[in-house]
Structure 1
Amino acid sequence: MGEWLSSYALFLAQSVTVVAAIAVVLILMIRTRGQRQDRGARLHVRNRGEYFRRHRETLEDATLEDGERERHVKARLKARKTEQKTAKKQGHTGERRNTLWVLDFDGDLRASRVPAFTEEITSIITAAGPGDEVLVRLQSGGGLVHAYGLASAQLDRLREAGLRLTVSVDKVAASGGYMMACCADHLIAAPFAVIGSIGVVAQVPNVHRLLRKNDVDVEILTAGRHKRTLTMLGENTEEGRQKFLDDLEKTHDLFKAWIASRRPALDIEQVSEGDIWYGQQGIGLALIDEVNTSEAWLQAHSDQYRILEVSLRPQRSMLERFGKRSEGAIERGIDRAIDRVVRLRWEKQ
């Protein structure tokens, strides 16, 4: 009897320990979720001039001998104090250096960055002064019409606020991405950046024949003749298919009208069949205004403006940061494996 009670007590203690551990984990998860909601996101601003000044000074110091480096650092600190005094005097006299605000938009199919992008734009509109400009570094292969329509409308807010907008495309701005790019006062693209794809596409898989073969009936009930034109499960009719195509044509017409209104020099009928072009081809078709990279364009304007790069970043918990690092490590491992396979392929040839 005593041995049974001892075993039971040990079992009970283990059970209580397991339950307590689960409870602690649940409490931590709930607490982490609440903290994540309270943290929200933080606006980060990087002064591009200061950032690259530190890089330049590091490289300059590396080229000098020890004694010469010390003299150089002292002279640099003295010059910086003089610059600060001059800037302070300019502040007292009301002089203000114009700012070039820089934003990034890396778009996916759903343009899921739009909420953060909207908040960044609102922040800039409230802080910008007369003579300020905005550069958006854009990268997107397009996606859902309504999502990229909203993203484009956010860019229009900058122009409506009196801020000159430049959009740069280093890699790709196609379909919905090009719709956004056309909102710019000045549109630049790298020589081999992909642009265009002014068209609309939709794909609807249909498994009706497979279901019918297996004696499966699907009933689709609608109120309204065109409530459901094409379906995945039911039998599609020619009338429904034609209505779907008509809707695509209407969307395409809206797309073309949007671009034509913002780039009047463009022959919209010539470039609106869904084709893509590279940046160096697009300049001749008036698809863009300048062939250049965003980095070269920024460097060329660094003397004229104070350049501030703005980004809204979510505040992540320690657990979320660990998960993000783990995800990054896995992706890097996959990339290395693919790179190794590619190198082996060339080595064998």
Structure 2
Amino acid sequence: MNLLLNYELFLAKAITFLFIIFITPFIFNIIKRKRTDQKKFKIILLEEKYKNIKKDILLSKMNKLEKKKWIKEEKKKDKEFEKKNKNNIVTLKKKTLFVLDFKGGIHAHEVIGLREEISAILLAANKDDEVLLRLESSGGVIHGYGLAAAQLERLRQNKIRLIISIDKIAASGGYMMACVADYIISAPFAIIGSIGVVGQLPNFNKLLKKCNIDVELHTAGDYKRTLTMFGQNTELTRKKFCQELNLTHEIFKKFIKKMRPCLDIENISNGEHWFGTIAFKKNLVDEINTSDNILMSKMKEKYTLLNIQYIYKNKKLENFTSFIIENIKIIIIKIFSYKKIL
């Protein structure tokens, strides 16, 4: 018996020792990497990407002799071009199309990258340059999407033409962003609109009373807390909550009308959404097309296509943890939150 107890004690000590030796450095490594995480820009020259794709497809269709001949001719063309332009002092200034991507969640956390990308563009853009934002969002909290729309307004304020392309969805807060554009493009079956505000949460007060559980809720100010999950909601607080929703809706409508004066705002602000083709008839969008076609047409117009991405590099473990936490938060918010959702 004593031998068994001694063995268990030895085993516990050994496990503790191994934990200290192997796990502690791992934890310190995570902390160190977290501190040294870097935020950086990734810039992709899209026309080069498309040229390389075209080249690969053309070569795959050729036999060995054709490939050899084609490569030789291309090299000859490149040499002739370099020789011709070697002594040219004046160079042609090409227009630039800055391509951004925004795939927004319920909290619009992606605005962290968007604001940096827009700041970078404002530092480098010339007068005739344009911005294409490929937008995908079903909306979310008003303060998140309000900030995202305000970031896009910076381009308008600096007289840089903003094109927004909606391939899948720009509803509610997503459309709040889209309406800032000088020109809105939508795919035929993209979901557009949903100009409304919603707020909901369950109330467990009756259930708690049945379980003989009291809830203490004290506020300074009549409307510090309107609706609550555990306290008793009154007609007065419900009325105030509805007033706040209606006020938010009015502000939302005024913003859209300011950005797109051509809209019959009262007709399209009832919370309804439409497919792209119907949204086009209602002046919610300016053209039925896809972002891919826009990029191809700009290439033909000899634009330089720059895809700008602001990337935050962090550890995979942290990414995984953040992913789990974020999804749990989204589920909880959808069930319990009373935040104003656009």
Tell me how far apart the structure 1 counterparts of residues 155 and 86 of structure 2 sit (CA, whole Å): 30
- For 1:184, which of 181, 186, 189 is the aligned residue? 181
Question: What RMSD in Å do the two structures reach over aligned CA positions?
Answer: 2.5
Provide the residue aligned with 1:339 in structure 2.
Answer: none
Provide the residue aligned with 2:102 in structure 1.
Answer: 105
Q: Does 1:172 align with 2:169?
A: yes
In the alignment of these two chains, the number of paired residues is 320
CA deviation after TM superposition for structure 1 residue 162, in Å: 2.1
Provide the residue aligned with 1:336 in structure 2.
Answer: none
Tell me how far apart the structure 1 counterparts of residues 314 and 123 of structure 2 sit (CA, whole Å): 26
Which runs of 5 or more structure 2 residues have no equivalent in the other structure?
325-342
Provide the residue aligned with 1:48 in structure 2.
Answer: 46
Task: Kindly provide the CA deviation profile for residues 104-124 of structure 1, in whole angstroms up to 9, marking residues without a partner as x.
Answer: 000010011111111111111
- In structure 1, give the amino acid aligned to 2:45: N
Q: Which structure carries more relative contact order (alpha carbon 8 Å, separation 6+)?
A: 2
CA deviation after TM superposition for structure 1 residue 180, in Å: 0.3
Task: Kindly provide the CA deviation profile for residues 56-91 of structure 1, in whole angstroms up to 9, marking residues without a partner as x.
Answer: 11111111121121010111122234445667666x
CA deviation after TM superposition for structure 1 residue 215, in Å: 1.9
Residues 36, 315 of structure 1: 8 Å contact kept: no
Q: Secondary structure at the match of 2:136?
A: strand
- In structure 1, give the amino acid aligned to 2:293: A
Tell me how far apart the structure 2 counterparts of residues 168 and 37 of structure 1 sit (CA, whole Å): 37
Change (3 A) 1:65 1:243: same
Residues 199, 274 of structure 1: 8 Å contact kept: yes
CA deviation after TM superposition for structure 1 residue 314, in Å: 2.3
Q: Does 1:114 align with 2:107?
A: no
Q: How does 1:71-86 map to 2 (within 5 A)?
A: 71-83=69-81
Q: TM-score, normalised by structure 2?
A: 0.86
Task: Kindly provide the CA deviation profile for residues 111-167 of structure 1, in whole angstroms up to 9, marking residues without a partner as x.
Answer: 111111111111111111221100000000000000000011111111122210000
Tell me how far apart the structure 2 counterparts of residues 163 and 82 of structure 1 sit (CA, whole Å): 36
Provide the residue aligned with 1:315 in structure 2.
Answer: 313
- In structure 2, give the amino acid aligned to 1:76: E
Q: How does 1:81-160 map to 2 (within 5 A)?
A: 81-83=79-81, 92-160=89-157
Provide the residue aligned with 2:17 in structure 1.
Answer: 19
Q: Secondary structure at the match of 1:22?
A: helix
Task: Kindly provide the CA deviation profile for residues 32-65 of structure 1, in whole angstroms up to 9, marking residues without a partner as x.
Answer: 3322332322211111110011111111111112
Q: How does 1:276-315 map to 2 (within 5 A)?
A: 276-304=273-301, 305-315=303-313
Change (3 A) 1:247 1:87: farther
Q: Does 1:162 align with 2:146?
A: no
Q: Secondary structure at the match of 1:97?
A: coil
CA deviation after TM superposition for structure 1 residue 277, in Å: 0.5
Change (3 A) 1:10 1:320: same
Task: Kindly provide the CA deviation profile for residues 234-253 of structure 1, in whole angstroms up to 9, marking residues without a partner as x.
Answer: 11111111111001000000
Change (3 A) 1:231 1:164: same
